[in-house]
Structure 1
Amino acid sequence: MNNHLILLLIASVAALAAPSLFERYEARILSGQPESLDAHPRTVEAAAPANRRLARQSRIAGDRAGHFRTDAVMNGRSIPVLVDTGASAVALDENTARRLGITLSAGDFVYPVHTANGVAMAARARIGEIAIGTVSVRDVDAMVIRDAALPQTLLGMSFLKRLKSYSVENGALTLYE
């Protein structure tokens, strides 16, 4: 019952106010003054930023012998590497693999590989991320070689071929992501 009374009261007030509003609107129209409208918002032109990633690059200076040695961050750890375009994969020794969190058993070393020191047995592995400066590659195939057979970690083609490009100019190697 109370709801009906409240609704009736609101309807009565609206009925009394409507003629007054209509009369003011009619008087304004009949006055001859032009009706003013709100100004439309100004249009501002702006260029949207391009949604493409900027190309990243890292430069490695050659040493006296012309080799490119640097520190790579592999799985968050700094590892000294020699860039080797003659190596088909990233190659590392067992000790370095353990530092990177790669666990292997003796039965995993079933792949014969030819190294500068002769034939050695290797195991396949995958490195979560390798970064040199601002250039990084994820999920890189690698070969783990017994400690004595590999004196230094080689950054081979399994890393390099995943880059956009790389070039050698003026004694420096530049990697492009």
Structure 2
Amino acid sequence: MMRSLLLLFLFAFTAAAVAAYKDPERVVRASDAVTELLRDHVEQRAHAVQIPRGQGGEFALRARINGIAAPMVIDTGATSVVLTYETAKAAGLPLELLDYDVDLETAGGHTRAARLTLDRLAIGKLVERSVPALVVPHGQMKTNLLGMSFLDRLESFEVRADRLVLHGF
């Protein structure tokens, strides 16, 4: 908030200085520049999601997979989004058609997973379609992972203090 006010003050001061020289063309250009920068600032905030760090140091969130709420943990070491069998079933994914032919190393050890594509994966206002994902067999994992097959689609992500900020396009 303070950053926005400071930015607004600086632009107003610049516009006032240009107006003092009574050059209408410069005033219009300065006004357009201020409007564009403020619009960009607002749009950038609208396409960002902040996730607080959990007590265990993880960044946990509630995603929506094909419209169904699902808890997830962000894992930049995971090449893909990985869903538990239970979450995939709740999201209405075609589990009976899957072939568990992908070798997967998890924190709990070695398992096999099946490839699929999520129609829609949403984290707050950030929505991606046709996201590649993996599903593990029943009981193999307790947590859904938000891996790089989603994170790579973002403009950027960064850790600020105890918050992870996801920036969409």
Alpha-carbon offset, residue 106 of structure 1? 7.1
Q: Which residue of 2 aligns with 1:7?
A: none
Describe the SS at the equivalent of 2:139.
helix
Describe the SS at the equivalent of 1:70.
strand
User: Any stretches of 5+ residues in structure 1 without a counterpart?
Assistant: 1-44
Alignment partner of 1:84 is 2:63 = no
Q: Which residue of 1 aligns with 2:140?
A: 149
Segments of 4+ in structure 1 off by > 2 A?
52-55, 104-107
Give the partner amino acid of 1:83: I
Give the partner amino acid of 2:144: T
| Closer/same/farther in 2, CA of residues 107 and 78 from structure 1, 3 Å limit | closer
Q: Which residue of 1 aligns with 2:64?
A: 73
The separation in 1 between residues aligned to 2:107 and 2:157, in whole angstroms, is 24
Match of 2:102 among 98, 102, 111: 111
Scaled by the length of structure 1, the TM-score of the pair is: 0.68
Scaled by the length of structure 2, the TM-score of the pair is: 0.71
The separation in 1 between residues aligned to 2:156 and 2:148, in whole angstroms, is 12
Larger Rg: 1
Aligned-residue sequence identity (percent) comes to 34
More helix by share: 2
Match of 2:152 among 154, 161, 170: 161
| Closer/same/farther in 2, CA of residues 85 and 103 from structure 1, 3 Å limit | same
The separation in 2 between residues aligned to 1:127 and 1:111, in whole angstroms, is 17
Give the paired residue count.
132
Contact 2:85-2:139 at 8 Å conserved across structures: no
Q: Which residue of 1 aligns with 2:43?
A: 54
Alpha-carbon RMSD: 2.3
Superimposed CA distance per residue, residues 124-147 of structure 1 (whole angstroms, 9 cap, x where no aligned partner): 011111111111111111000012
User: Any stretches of 5+ residues in structure 2 without a counterpart?
Assistant: 1-27
Alpha-carbon offset, residue 65 of structure 1? 2.1
